[in-house]
Structure 1
């Protein structure tokens, strides 16, 4: 079903690697023009170059998602170049593990600023442009299974991802009340092979000097017995952006191989 989002314009934050990269590549492959933003400039440009080489359309913009002025610039830039915004994928995020007793207030605030404030700012500044097009739109907020259940040594991360979950539902109801055609949903990845494990590894494997073995973790904890990949999440994001999910809003799409069911 090629071309499922042809003619649409998408903004993907944190699109230089991991799940964000997978989403950007998937949306571009299905016909969307994708604006990839990140603070990892070399990797971001690499993603865009790959999309273009494959025949897709994309551009890269440097963006710190905690900076409201930059959000305004990014959205204004999209308006000037494309005149519309159809999809926002709020993906940028970090993971800081460790005991709540040891976490510094600075790290708590940094994680909250990126994982939760960034989602708020993206939503706040993207909705007006989506409404201006008159065609509705889709906002997909990347949460986590850590936004559905608690995990030892990940209190700060769980707090931000749980916040994203309920923020999503509240904004979905606000848009529904406005009858603006904008749908808002959250996606909750499980054990996915992404760079975030380089920073949260200590939380699940205390004392280790290397990232956790996701294959071993998945074999033990995931009912399907295997880890996931960014493309698995991107497939769900594509569905939530496409017209195939036109009757879906305020929902949680859990993509975790059954992890949260066990």
Structure 2
């Protein structure tokens, strides 16, 4: 979403987004993990923010506010106790992966995972780029700074801010970066963003072209350039060690 580079082999961060009539807005803190090669990640389940998100979605599933379906016309899934966050992310992935666009039809996220009537999707960001942007930021982090006036993060994290302070700081820095560079939160396949992707894996030549483009686009951003340097080195280590 931020640079267009592949997330294969380097780690990735997912941010769950709510689809609204005016666009997308984040509802979760960053979920770190390893890319699974299909469009989702294997999340780090020991992360406190991840635990809070999964617990919240389970609770809202029991109350009927959060509904999951394997297909648009399918039966509602009862995932309580059986489906970890990785499974839920797969349903959320399908919401954007199957969204098109098809022919003249616009990109429209499918209602596979729905919270209070709004489909959920997610943004996918390469971990080295995320880390570099976060490290370059400063100042206090608040729920408002990270999420604006979206109510769901306050329900998820409001009573646990002290427990997730590093994750909150990180998302606030990313949100600030998105705003400063006139980007927009979006799932990978949304064609209306600067760096759309269909979730496919790329070969080395394709990925090198995306890295070169990102270096050019962010030639005035030391943080992103540093993140891309780390990205390239990590990719070399993972692919050739």
Q: Structure 1 length normalisation: TM-score?
A: 0.26
Greater per-residue helix proportion: 1
Between 1 and 2, higher relative CO (CA 8 Å, sep ≥ 6) is seen in 2
TM-score by length of 2: 0.27
